[in-house]
C-alpha cells in the first residue's frame, strides 16, 4: 500500500453578507451573516485529493471556530493518512478522546464541532478516493463496519452495539433496491424559504406560492417573536396552501416551557405539523413537558443538540417526535451515524436541519444513507431545503419536484468552489460580491 501523509490543515474564515437581505432571520437570530469555518485537509498523495469540510456559523465568532480547527493540526499533520481512513471509528475516538482538548466540552461546542469538521474532511477524502458520494460509500459498508464507526460510550443503556447490528442487518437485504429507488426518485424535501421573520407578508405569500409550484409537500414558518404577527402570517400562508397542507413552525429556542405551551395552543387552530426548537436545546425535560401538553402537535429538535447523548435523552424522555440532525453541529459523520441508529431504535423519523451554507449539500447524504441502510424508509421523513448559496458549491444541491436528487459525484458535498472561497474570505469586513 502506498503511504501518504497529511501535510496541512488549511483554514479559511468565509462569511456571506446575508444580514443585508434578512435571509435566515428568525426570532433569536435577527441578522445572521451565514459563514463557514472552512478546512482543507491537504495530503502529499499522488492522487491530489484534498478533504474539504466546514462548520456553519452565523458570523461573529467564525474566527473562534477557525482557531479551534487549527488546534487539531498537531493531531493530524504528519500522520499517515491510510490508517486513519481505514479505521474511521478509531480516528474519531482518537480526536474526541484528547483529554486536554476534551476539557473544553466535553463533546460539545466549538471544539467538538471543529473535530466534526476534520472528521468530515477525512470522510471527503475517503469518499473521493472510493469514487463514491458519501451516502453510497456508507451504504456499501457492512453492518459490522458501520457499527465500528460509532462510539457507544454513554449510549449502551439505550442502544447496545448488538442492537445496532440487528437494525443494520435487518435493512441489509433491501439495500440495492432502495439505492436504485433513491437514484430514480430522490429524497423528499420541504422548504423554509417563505418563512423568515424579516420578510414582508407579500414576500411570504409569494414564496409560499413558489413552494407549491416547485412541488414541495411541506413548508416551515419562523415564529416566536410576536404572537399577533405569527397568527397573521400563519393565516396568510394557510390561505394560500389550503387546510391540509403541512406547515411546520420553528421558534428557534425563543420560549420558556409554559410560554411555549401557551403560544403553540394559540397557533393550534392553524394546524402546525410540528413545533421546532420551542425552548433551550439543552432542556430535555422541558421538551418532554411541552410534548405532553401540545400533543398531537409534534415537537421537533436537534439542530443545536450537541451530541449523541442529548439525542439519547430526548428519545428516552419521549421529548421529540422528529429528530433533526445537523451535519456540522455534532462530531461529524460518525456521530450522526450514531444518531440515525438511535432514531431507528426508538422508531422516530429523522428530518435533518439544513439551509445555512452548504448544510443541504452535506446532510442529504445522511438521510440517503439512512434510507438505504438504516431505517430503510422515507415515510414521514423530509430534508429541510432553503434556496440560498448553493451556487458556491462544487456539487450543488439539486431539487426536482420538491425532492433532493441523489448526488452521484464522489465526496461529502461539502467542497466550496475556489472562487467563492476567495471572494468571501473575511478580512475584518464583509465582502459584497455582485
Ligand atoms: Mg430550525
Q: What percent of the chain has pLDDT over 70?
A: 99
Task: Say if residue 366 is exposed, middle or buried (CB neighbours under 10 Å; 0-12, 13-18, 19+).
Answer: buried
Given a cut of 70, is residue 433 above it in pLDDT?
A: no
What are 248-299's pLDDT values in tens digits? 999 999 999 999 999 999 999 999 999 999 999 999 999 999 999 999 999 9
What's the gap in Å between 277 CA and the centre of ligand 1? 7
What are 92-122's pLDDT values in tens digits? 999 999 999 999 999 999 999 999 999 999 9
Q: Which of 160, 229, 150 is nearest to 197 (CA)?
A: 229
Residue bearing cell 467542497 = 415
Q: How confident is the model at residue 68 (pLDDT cuts 50, 70, 90)?
A: very high
What's the gap in Å between 412 CA and the centre of ligand 1? 22
Given a cut of 80, is residue 432 above it in pLDDT?
A: no
Whole-model pTM above 0.75? yes
Residue 195 is predicted with a pLDDT of 87
Residue 299 is predicted with a pLDDT of 98
User: What does CATH list as the number for 6-131?
Assistant: 3.30.390.10
Residue 392 is predicted with a pLDDT of 98
Numbered ranges of CATH 3.30.390.10 in the chain: 6-131
Given a cut of 70, is residue 128 above it in pLDDT?
A: yes
What's the gap in Å between 144 CA and the centre of ligand 1? 33
Class of domain 169-421: alpha beta
CA dist., res. 267 & res. 275, Å (int):
10
Given a cut of 60, is residue 162 above it in pLDDT?
A: yes
What's the gap in Å between 432 CA and the centre of ligand 1? 26
Given a cut of 60, is residue 397 above it in pLDDT?
A: yes
Residue 426 is predicted with a pLDDT of 95
Kindly report the average pLDDT of the chain as a whole number.
Answer: 96
Residue 23 is predicted with a pLDDT of 76
* H-type alpha helices, 186-297: 201-213, 227-241, 257-267, 284-294
Q: Is 365 a catalytic residue?
A: no
Residue 19 is predicted with a pLDDT of 87
Given a cut of 60, is residue 434 above it in pLDDT?
A: no
Q: Is 128 a catalytic residue?
A: no
Helix (H) or strand (E) holding 149: helix 143-149
Amino acid at each position: 500500500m502506498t503511504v501518504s501523509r497529511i501535510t496541512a490543515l488549511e483554514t479559511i474564515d468565509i462569511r456571506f453578507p446575508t444580514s443585508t437581505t434578512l435571509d435566515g432571520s428568525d426570532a433569536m437570530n435577527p441578522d445572521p451573516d451565514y459563514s463557514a469555518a472552512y478546512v482543507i485537509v491537504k495530503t502529499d498523495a499522488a492522487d491530489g485529493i484534498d478533504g474539504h469540510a466546514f462548520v456553519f456559523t452565523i458570523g461573529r465568532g467564525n474566527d473562534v471556530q477557525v482557531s479551534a480547527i487549527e488546534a487539531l493540526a498537531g493531531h493530524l499533520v504528519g500522520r499517515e493518512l491510510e490508517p486513519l481512513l481505514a479505521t474511521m471509528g478509531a480516528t474519531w475516538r482518537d480526536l474526541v478522546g484528547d483529554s486536554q482538548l476534551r476539557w473544553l466540552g466535553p463533546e460539545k461546542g466549538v471544539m467538538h464541532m471543529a473535530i466534526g469538521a476534520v472528521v468530515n474532511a477525512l470522510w471527503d477524502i475517503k469518499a473521493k478516493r472510493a469514487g463514491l458520494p458519501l451516502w453510497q460509500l456508507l451504504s456499501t459498508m457492512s453492518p459490522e463496519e458501520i457499527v465500528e464507526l460509532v462510539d457507544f460510550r454513554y449510549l449502551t443503556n439505550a442502544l447496545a452495539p448488538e442492537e445496532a447490528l440487528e437494525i443494520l442487518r435487518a435493512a441489509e437485504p433491501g439495500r440495492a433496491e432502495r439505492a436504485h429507488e433513491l437514484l430514480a426518485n430522490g429524497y423528499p424535501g420541504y422548504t423554509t424559504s417563505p418563512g423568515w421573520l424579516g420578510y414582508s407578508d407579500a414576500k411570504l405569500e409569494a414564496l409560499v406560492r413558489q413552494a407549491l409550484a416547485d412541488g414541495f409537500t411541506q413548508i416551515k414558518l419562523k415564529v416566536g417573536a410576536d404572537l399577533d404577527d405569527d397568527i397573521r402570517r400563519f393565516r396568510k400562508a394557510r390561505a394560500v396552501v389550503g387546510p391540509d397542507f403541512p406547515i411546520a413552525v420553528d421558534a428557534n429556542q425563543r420560549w420558556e416551557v409554559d410560554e411555549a405551551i401557551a403560544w403553540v395552543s394559540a397557533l393550534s387552530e392553524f394546524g402546525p405539523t410540528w413545533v421546532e426548537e420551542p425552548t433551550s436545546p439543552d432542556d430535555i425535560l422541558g421538551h418532554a413537558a411541552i410534548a405532553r401538553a401540545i400533543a398531537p402537535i409534534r415537537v421537533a429538535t436537534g439542530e443545536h443538540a450537541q451530541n449523541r447523548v442529548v439525542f439519547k435523552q430526548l428519545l428516552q424522555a419521549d421529548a421529540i417526535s422528529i429528530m433533526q440532525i445537523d451535519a456540522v453541529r455534532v462530531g461529524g459523520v460518525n456521530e450522526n451515524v450514531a444518531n440515525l441508529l438511535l432514531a431507528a431504535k426508538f422508531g422516530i423519523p429523522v428530518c435533518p436541519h439544513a439551509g445555512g451554507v452548504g448544510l443541504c449539500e452535506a446532510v442529504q447524504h445522511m438521510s440517503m444513507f439512512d434510507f438505504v441502510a438504516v431505517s430503510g424508509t422515507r415515510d414521514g421523513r423530509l430534508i429541510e431545503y432553503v434556496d440560498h448559496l448553493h451556487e458556491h458549491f462544487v456539487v450543488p444541491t439539486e431539487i426536482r419536484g420538491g425532492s433532493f436528487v441523489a448526488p452521484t459525484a464522489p465526496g461529502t458535498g461539502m467542497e466550496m468552489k475556489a472562487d467563492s472561497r476567495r471572494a468571501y474570505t473575511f478580512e475584518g469586513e464583509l465582502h459584497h460580491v455582485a
